Amino acid sequence: MEETLRSLQQEAIEKVNEAQDLKALNDVRVAYLGKKGPVTEALKGMGKLSAEERPKMGALANEVRGAITETIEAKQAILEKEAVEKKLQSETIDVTLPGRPVKSGNHHPLTMIVEEIEDLFIGMGYTIAEGPEVEKDYYNFEALNLPKGHPARDMQDSFYISEETLLRTHTSPVQARTMELADGKGPIKIICPGKVYRRDTDDATHSHQFTQIEGLVVDEHIRMSDLKGTLNVFAKKMFGEDREIRLRPSFFPFTEPSVEMDISCKICGGEGCRVCKGTGWIEILGAGMVHPNVLEMAGFDSSKYSGFAFGMGPERIAMLKYGIDDIRHYYTNDTRFLKQFSEKE
Ligand code: PHE
């Protein structure tokens, strides 16, 4: 028995030394010291020994077990240290490597234009007003002097949701709502940016969904010259101090008189070119003096109060400012297009 135990010790220690990793080492532990291992087996056989031999063999078996355990523990410490070193080595970070660039987005060109226009008017004392995109027929048309069946409703093909609700066709309903809330008392000085919808077939210059910014000023003694002065400041700040504006008579049911504003063509300086279609002028927005019916319907005394309103399309303004030739670029989300407007560059 003594021999068996000694050769087991020898054998186990050799195996421990051969073990290359922690798993192999554990296999050795299970094989030699486990419940079914030879050392345990040997100890079980002690019953058969004589009374004097039993304690001797018991002590020897414990010694063998202790020796094997010790070598295993020593080896385990070495292997664990090696494993940590290996891991550290494989995870070493080369701080001299150039970093991977983080891709960042930028504001959409339309957002940028809208914010630029907003800032410009906020600088002139305006506040921003917003309203719902799903609008009542009343605010979209009726309160703007466009009763049911009015032929001018055809100017704005609409997406109806029900008989009385539709996707707003312009941001003008926000002016109707704001005036109504003002309870017949001025002054009002707002701009209303937002999305609008029309039943249009999309092409290079039309989209069924686009953006508008509407402006409205209501107070006592507001005159056409105030409108013209405001638009002149806007045009120069937006397109350059050398730009001229001109107002042409036009028609909107909610303004009287109504005008359309052109700015002088930057490309040809007024000579006439392809962009301005040979006229030297480019149409920018619609405007006019708020119709007395619109003021009265919103609860304002039109003999005391007057106002002006204007409405423009940021898509068109950005197209002119940045030379964008197709309105669909704004909505197709091609990052090659969008990235050109990165503020950082
Ligand atoms: N709401 C008009 C449109 O969408 C624009 C406009 C606004 C014209 C305010 C005059 C005054 O066509």
Q: Residues 247-275: what's their mean pLDDT?
A: 90
Higher pLDDT residue, 189 or 157?
A: 189
Q: Summarize the annotated binding site for Mg(2+) as residue ranges.
A: 256
Sign, CA torsion 319/324/328/334: negative
Q: Residues 251-275: what's their mean pLDDT?
A: 89
Point out the ligand 1 atom lying closest to the alpha carbon of residue 216.
Answer: 9
Q: List pocket residues of ligand 1, CB cut-off 6 Å.
A: 170, 172, 214, 252, 255, 286-288, 309-311
Instruction: Check whether 116 has a pLDDT greater than 90.
Output: yes
Instruction: Check whether 217 has a pLDDT greater than 60.
Output: yes
Which residues does 160 contact at the CB level (< 8 Å), separation at least 6?
166
Widest pairwise Cα distance in the chain: 129
Ligand 1 centroid from CA 166, angstroms? 17
Point out the ligand 1 atom lying closest to the alpha carbon of residue 155.
Answer: 12
Q: Residues 199-228: what's their mean pLDDT?
A: 94
Percent of the chain topping pLDDT 70:
99
Percent of the chain topping pLDDT 90:
50
Give residue 182's pLDDT. 95
Which among 175, 213, 222, 254 is the best mutation to test ligand 1's pocket, defined by most ligand atoms within 8 Å of the CB? 254
Point out the ligand 1 atom lying closest to the alpha carbon of residue 172.
Answer: 1
Q: Residues 183-205: what's their mean pLDDT?
A: 93
Which among 121, 224, 227, 252 is the best mutation to test ligand 1's pocket, defined by most ligand atoms within 8 Å of the CB? 252
**12-16, 172-176, 276-280: which is most confident:** 172-176
Distance CA 129, CA 182 (A): 13
Residue nearest to atom 5 of ligand 1 (CA): 311
Q: Residues 330-345: what's their mean pLDDT?
A: 83
Give residue 94's pLDDT. 83
- Under the banding of pLDDT at 50, 70 and 90, the label for residue 345 is very low
Q: Summarize the annotated binding site as residue ranges.
A: 256
Residue nearest to atom 6 of ligand 1 (CA): 311
Point out the ligand 1 atom lying closest to the alpha carbon of residue 144.
Answer: 1
Q: Residues 120-139: what's their mean pLDDT?
A: 97
Per residue in 161-191, pLDDT tens?
998 999 999 999 999 999 999 999 989 999 9
Which among 146, 153, 170 is the best mutation to test ligand 1's pocket, defined by most ligand atoms within 8 Å of the CB? 170
Ligand 1 centroid from CA 141, angstroms? 12
Residue nearest to atom 7 of ligand 1 (CA): 311
Ligand 1 centroid from CA 29, angstroms? 88
Instruction: Check whether 141 has a pLDDT greater than 90.
Output: yes
Give residue 344's pLDDT. 55
- Under the banding of pLDDT at 50, 70 and 90, the label for residue 260 is very high
Ligand 1 centroid from CA 302, angstroms? 20
Give residue 287's pLDDT. 98
Q: Which of the residue ranges 51-60, 190-199, 311-320 would you say has the lowest mean pLDDT?
A: 51-60
Instruction: Check whether 310 has a pLDDT greater than 90.
Output: yes
Give residue 3's pLDDT. 81
Instruction: Check whether 276 has a pLDDT greater than 90.
Output: no
Ligand 1 centroid from CA 311, angstroms? 4
Ligand 1 centroid from CA 310, angstroms? 6
Q: Give pTM, 2 decimals.
A: 0.71
Give residue 293's pLDDT. 96
Closest CA to 231 of 278, 275, 188, 283: 283
Q: Residues 223-234: what's their mean pLDDT?
A: 97
Per residue in 17-66, pLDDT tens?
888 888 888 888 888 888 888 877 777 777 788 888 888 888 888 888 88
Q: Which of the residue ranges 133-137, 147-151, 153-157, 182-186 would you say has the lowest mean pLDDT?
A: 153-157
